[in-house]
Amino acid sequence: MLAIKLKGVGKKHQRSFRFVVQERRSKLLGKSIEDLGWHNPHTSKSEINKERAAHWIKVGAKPTMSVAQIFKRNKISLPAGIKTSKTYASKKKVEGEKPAEKPAAATETPKGEV
């Protein structure tokens, strides 16, 4: 499965990134299929070949979450199933529901007994 990833380039504390198309499970410094552009997080500037990015998304390459956020900022259309942020459903409280209570006798044991 193909993915559009950010590949780090540049000095240690002056990182900039390249948008690359690679196999999802391949090493980041490994061979990439195509280079789509660059992103500099220090200046928040980026340049993306929008036509090629749209082509790879249409073919089936899925952008990583950080790439999807940058694409969204640069107004590149993404398919409906692509997430741009993590959602923590377990931390969200649903109104009207109470957490299940455990019976007190089953969970408590006296300290002296085993």
Q: What confidence score (pLDDT) does residue 73 get?
A: 86
Q: What value does the mean pLDDT take over residues 16-42?
A: 91
Q: What confidence score (pLDDT) does residue 47 get?
A: 93
| Residue 78 clears pLDDT 90, i.e. is over it | no
Note whether residue 84 is domain-resident. Answer: no
Q: What confidence score (pLDDT) does residue 20 get?
A: 95
Note whether residue 106 is domain-resident. Answer: no
In the chain the beta strands, taken as DSSP E runs, fall at 2-9, 16-23, 34-40, 45-48, 62-63
Residues spanned by the domain of 57? 2-73
| Residue 89 clears pLDDT 60, i.e. is over it | no
Question: Can you list the alpha helix ranges (DSSP code H) found in 45-87?
Answer: 50-59, 65-73
Provide the residue type at 75 as one letter.
K
Note whether residue 91 is domain-resident. Answer: no
Query: How many separate domains does the chain show?
Result: 1
Share of the chain above pLDDT 90, in %: 36
Q: What confidence score (pLDDT) does residue 56 get?
A: 92
How much is the pTM?
Answer: 0.68
| Residue 21 clears pLDDT 70, i.e. is over it | yes
| Residue 23 clears pLDDT 80, i.e. is over it | yes
Alpha carbon distance 26, 29 (integer Å): 9
Check which CATH number belongs to the domain holding 57 and give it: 3.30.1320.10
